[in-house]
């Protein structure tokens, strides 16, 4: 763990954090902007995609998962896979009702 800790300090500088923050702001602006455009049934998917990219950035950089042990990545992926399966199963009701 100590090694990982040191690695983090070497890998992430203030510049990176700043860029991530700017990206998050930009993606938020994008979400708000395209909410006014009529994409029909794919609007939800687009909004979800942008939100997924934003959370990916936060989780990887701000929460340091990118630089952590493989076990934490596995934990995270299992939780995400579960969430994805829940979305898919719910969609069977939403789209076939």
Residues that bind another protein (CB under 8 A): 71, 79, 82, 85-86, 89-90, 92-93, 95-97
**Please, what's the b/e burial string for 8-39 (b: 16 or more CB within 10 A of its CB; e: otherwise)?**
eeeebeeeeeeebeeebeeeeeeeeeeeeeee
Closer to another protein by Cβ: residue 14 or 95 = 95
Closer to another protein by Cβ: residue 14 or 92 = 92
Beta carbon of residue 12, minimum distance to another protein (angstroms, whole number): 24
Closer to another protein by Cβ: residue 16 or 90 = 90
Sign of dihedral through CA atoms 81, 86, 88, 89?
positive
């Amino acid at each position: 763990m100590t090694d990982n800790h040191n690695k983090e300090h070497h890998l992430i500088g203030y510049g990176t954090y700043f860029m991530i923050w700017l990206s998050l702001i930009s993606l938020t602006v994008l979400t708000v902007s395209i909410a006014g455009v009529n994409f029909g049934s794919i609007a939800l998917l687009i909004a979800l995609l942008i939100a997924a990219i934003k959370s990916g950035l936060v989780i990887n950089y701000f929460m340091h998962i990118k630089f952590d042990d493989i076990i934490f990545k596995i934990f995270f992926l299992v939780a995400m896979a579960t969430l994805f399966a829940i979305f898919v199963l719910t969609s069977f009701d939403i789209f076939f009702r």
